[in-house]
Structure 1
Amino acid sequence: MIAGQDTSIVTNHHEAALTQARELRQLARVGKFKGPTSGFAPGLAQGNVVILPKSWADDFLLFCQQNPIACPLLAVSAPGKPILDALGEDIDIRTDVPEYRVFRHGELSEETSDITDLWRTDLVTFVLGCSFSFEDSLMRAGLSLRNIDCNANVSMYRTNIATNPSQYFSGDMVVSMRPFKPADAIRAVQITTRYPKSHGAPIHLGYPEMIGIKDLSKPDFGDPVPINDDEIPVFWACGVTPQLAIANACPPIAITHSPGKMLVTDVSNDQLSIL
């Protein structure tokens, strides 16, 4: 907490964020919110979602452990348990994500706002940290975020950076991109380093071609955003990375969030900070 900061203001902001997170999950549950979650419930952690049969879960857990920057674990459920008490009040993973992707044998087969009909007693849920979680800290430091300013989904790109494979899961890393002036980029590095459970510090600055990105105006996921002449692109590891690994592993079924449409939790970012 900043010296001299009114604790009642901090408490009120936290309570307002909790209220917004719970309202957003309820709207997602009834199909009334299907959009990107960047900028919602500031100060609370958001999560990428991967749901797999138990027979595939141990190997995916190993994949996460071997790639903690791209796949920082926040929670793992017991098989068949859809309620995630550890992450918030009344979170039902079958309905409370704005939009899901369903993969069958590695191929994207559908996108839906409700996976209740697909739920099975052997499904294990993984929730991984998301860079949306640290956006509030960047904005409170006076940094402008182009995706929020443009009311757009964050830009995400496939790279040529290989992940560390497990037995079945492998693939290149996906990154999210936010443009900053160089001085602001340095500040962004300093701030996000404190949040390893939200992908931590950037993995690359500038020169997108060095990590296999040919055209910043054509993201593989999310929306393009303008980059000014005095700015450089800053890249963070992204929780869409497992979706490429799922395509390579080809499990009979896998369910994820749609890129940029996250599970908004009740967990405070301060609980995940290392400082």
Structure 2
Amino acid sequence: MPGGRLTNEDRRQIAAGLAEGLGYAEIGRRLGRPASTIMREVTRNGGPGDYRADRAEDATRQRARRHKQARPPAPPIPDGGHGRDPRAVQDFTESFVALLVQQGLPRMEARVLACLYVTDSGALTAADLVQRLHVSPASISHAVAFLEQQGMLKRERVPGARRERYVIDDEIWLRSMLASLQMNDALVAASQRGAEVLGAATPAGARFESSAELLSLVSEAFRQVIEQWQSGSTPHPAHPPVE
């Protein structure tokens, strides 16, 4: 279907089009595909002078099989002596990652954050993360930089070593809520200004005024929740050694 993977019939039509001397754009129009898709398909399978539909289909299947080969399983997450079921912890971690991605966090950043979050220490080195997530050091570095910029983790020196470790604390969501509160306050101000400019008596102005009222209530609720949590929170012990 248009926009999906090329089928064997698509490849036969590509081969027929090349035999007629058609360009990528014309072949793409016949198939309802972008010219760039046709160009990539032909280029990776012998080029215009050596493209064969059956051979291209076989090569695509082989590539798909290689991509489907399972990665080695991640090492079990240490339970810190608490008798946890490693499989249950792994399943929960994967579902937590999916939730973070749903909330808008990039997948690699979500995996790093979840990996830190499920450790009792809340702290891991780059080497720990590379081993647990089976990704490159560069991927960890990029994810950590993003999370640090968002205030979701911090770096600290491993005692007695030159290595750094990445640390999360119990106020990660507090900082996230404060950032959301700032954005919500900005929307309140913009909506109030919109009502003034457009006129509260007009449909457009009334829409902005109604939005400002709702967003103001949200901001107030956020403040009350944050104040309640801060007044009832107690200091937590320092992070234990890296697992």
Common topology (TM > 0.5): no
Question: TM-score, with normalisation over the residues of structure 1?
Answer: 0.21
Instruction: Work out which of the two has the higher radius of gyration on C-alpha atoms and give 1 or 2.
Output: 2
The structure richer in strand per residue is 1
Question: TM-score, with normalisation over the residues of structure 2?
Answer: 0.23
The structure richer in helix per residue is 2
